[in-house]
């Protein structure tokens, strides 16, 4: 029996054009993997790490990337006609990796909403070929860095003085980077509040990132304009308005600081979960200073080959944190991915990013509680919930295929919560089944829904993807019911 040769990321990078290879470290799997010279693939002031700004510039960059990737796959298809089965699969793997690196370069340099899409593709198993996920996974932790001079300029402009004056120590080399900003390690001066925990993480927002979000959403509105003529046009526009508001809120670090405060209060009774305290006097809308937490992210944890008991414990802590935030703090965690959780050496779970948190309105919270109860009542209760949650028209309510798919999606979400026994998220068949339903819903353009469901779906899928990646067996239903009792629901 023959086997298809595997192609490493490093081998794929070696086959890329020289401008994409320049600056690539020898070990692409290392923590500085994004030293790729990806900046040369897009326009903008790359020497300073500024994201490209302007609707046309960003739209053109994505359109050009799409053309390059499509041309690459067309070339593979033509060449594969003269290849054997194994050689065809090997060359397809190469093209997956080649396309993934191109996506990585463009998304990480554009940052903002575009980079968030890449993070989602990387984290949700089965949404993209494994070669894509392996490479795009770097979007959780890395992006082209801002130059030290620009960092100093940003801190001075926002806080009124240079970082070396405000802090006892400030490392101008970023510790990690994300879609909206990058984090620097610093130390507080003596006598400062919380100086017993002098190490802090200072999140510095990329200049102009709020505008890039407006530009990306405006481009998305243009692409979706034809949908306005359909029966779901008004729903799509309402959803886009809601998405723009949520993304814009993520650029307000004062709002994130408030989320951190709420989360800290809600999780105060769970010693194994840590939320970093905020230093308000060193924070504003574009600078956020928090206590530094030491720990590793999921890929590093898995590299240590933890036993099943350890995986289960971490999975239960993640689930408990998410449910406690939802029920007690009324915060929907809509950005659950490996970059936002730290597995600390003392066994505690650190939560480190609270930008994409939906603060439930009373109406939204009541809807979520009704959605959970419907699964335990009757098929008719589920149907009524789906009609309400999707805001279906009378004609759509009479469409049996739409109702079948939406019911299947609801059942998939609820499945792990209907028992108090441990649910095996390590069995990939469960997650793959859900992603197949999700893709079919999108392919049929069943996109009418209440805006809250976009964030509920993102959060719920993210939690299941995290537990699947961890390979954990977690009594999700038991934890959920315990948290509803603790919160007095």
| Structure confidence at residue 111 (pLDDT) | 55
Name the band, by pLDDT with cuts 50, 70 and 90, for residue 447.
confident
**pLDDT per position as a tens digit, 448-463:** 999 999 899 989 999 9
Q: What is the mean predicted confidence (pLDDT) over 14-25?
A: 38
**pLDDT per position as a tens digit, 4-18:** 344 444 444 444 334
| Structure confidence at residue 8 (pLDDT) | 45
135 vs 301 pLDDT, higher one: 301
| Structure confidence at residue 262 (pLDDT) | 96
Domain residue spans of the chain? 9-137, 296-489
Q: The pTM is what?
A: 0.75
**pLDDT per position as a tens digit, 235-248:** 888 888 898 898 88
**pLDDT per position as a tens digit, 264-293:** 999 998 999 999 999 999 999 999 999 999
**pLDDT per position as a tens digit, 411-420:** 999 999 999 9
Name the band, by pLDDT with cuts 50, 70 and 90, for residue 207.
confident
| Structure confidence at residue 2 (pLDDT) | 36
Average pLDDT value over all residues in the chain: 78
What is the SS3 string spanning the chain? CCCCCCCCHHHHHHCCCHHHHCCCCCCCCCCCHHHCCHHHHCCCCHHHCCCCCCHHHHHHHHHHHHHHHHHHHHHHHHHHCCCCHHHHHHHHHHHHHHHHHHHHHHHHHHCHHHHHHHHHHHHCCCCCCHHHHHHHHHHHCCCCCCCHHHHHHHHHHHHCCCHHHHCCEECCCCCEECCCEEEEEEECCCCCCCCCCCEEEEEEECCCHHHHHHHHHHHHHHHCHHHHHCCCHHHHHHHHHHHHHHHHHHCCHHHHHHHHHHHHHHCCCCCCEECCCECHHHCCCCEEEEECCCCECHHHHHHCCCCHHHHHHHHHHHHHHHHHHHHCCCEEECCCCHHHEEECCCCCEEECCCCCEEECCHHHHHHHHHHHHHCCCCHHHHHHHHHHHHCCCHHHHCCHHHHHHHHHHHHHHHHHHCCCCCEECCCHHHHHHHHHHHHHHHHCCCCCCCHHHHHHHHHHHHHHHHHHHHCCEECHHHHHHHHHHHCCC
């Amino acid at each position: 029996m023959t086997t298809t040769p595997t192609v490493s990321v490093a081998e794929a990078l070696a086959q890329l054009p020289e401008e994409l290879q320049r600056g690539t470290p020898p070990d692409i799997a290392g923590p500085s993997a994004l030293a790729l010279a990806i900046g040369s693939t897009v326009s903008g002031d790359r020497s300073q790490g500024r994201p490209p700004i302007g609707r046309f510039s960003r739209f053109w960059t994505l359109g050009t990337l799409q053309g390059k990737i499509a041309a690459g796959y067309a070339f593979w298809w033509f060449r594969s006609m003269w290849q054997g089965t194994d050689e065809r699969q090997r060359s397809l793997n190469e093209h997956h990796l080649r396309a993934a690196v191109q996506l990585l370069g463009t998304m990480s340099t554009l940052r903002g909403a575009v980079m968030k899409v890449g993070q989602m593709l990387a984290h949700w198993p089965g949404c993209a070929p494994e070669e894509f996920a392996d490479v795009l996974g770097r979007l959780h932790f890395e992006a082209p860095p801002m130059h030290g001079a620009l960092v100093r300029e940003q801190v001075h402009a926002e806080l009124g003085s240079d970082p070396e004056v405000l802090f006892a120590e400030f490392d101008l080399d970023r510790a990690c980077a994300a879609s909206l900003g990058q984090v620097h390690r610093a130390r507080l001066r003596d006598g400062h509040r919380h100086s017993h925990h002098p190490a802090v993480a200072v999140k510095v927002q990329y200049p102009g990132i709020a505008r890039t979000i407006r530009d990306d959403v405006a481009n998305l509105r243009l692409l979706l304009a034809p949908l306005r003529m359909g029966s779901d046009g008004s729903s799509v526009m309402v959803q886009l308005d809601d998405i723009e508001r949520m993304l814009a809120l993520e650029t307000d670090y004062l709002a994130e600081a408030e989320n951190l405060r709420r989360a800290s209060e809600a999780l105060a009774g769970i010693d194994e979960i840590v939320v970093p305290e905020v230093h308000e006097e060193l924070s504003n809308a574009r600078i956020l200073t928090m206590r530094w937490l030491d720990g590793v992210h999921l890929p590093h944890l898995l590299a240590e080959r933890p036993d099943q008991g350890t995986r289960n414990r971490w999975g239960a802590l993640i689930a408990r944190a998410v449910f406690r935030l939802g029920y007690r703090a009324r915060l929907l965690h809509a950005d659950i991915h490996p970059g936002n959780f730290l597995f600390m050496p003392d066994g505690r779970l650190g939560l480190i990013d609270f930008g994409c948190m939906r603060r439930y309105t009373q109406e939204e919270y009541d809807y979520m509680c009704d959605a959970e109860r419907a699964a335990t009542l009757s098929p008719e209760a589920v149907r009524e919930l789906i009609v309400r949650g999707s805001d279906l028209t009378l004609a759509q309510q009479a469409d049996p295929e739409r109702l079948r798919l939406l019911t299947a999606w609801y059942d998939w979400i609820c499945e792990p919560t209907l028992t108090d026994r441990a649910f095996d998220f390590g069995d990939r068949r469960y997650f793959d089944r859900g992603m197949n339903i999700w893709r079919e819903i999108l392919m049929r353009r069943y996109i009418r829904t209440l805006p809250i469901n976009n964030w509920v779906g993102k959060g719920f899928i993210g939690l299941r993807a995290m537990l699947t990646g961890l390979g954990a067996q977690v009594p999700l239903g038991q934890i959920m019911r315990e948290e509803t009792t603790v919160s007095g629901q």
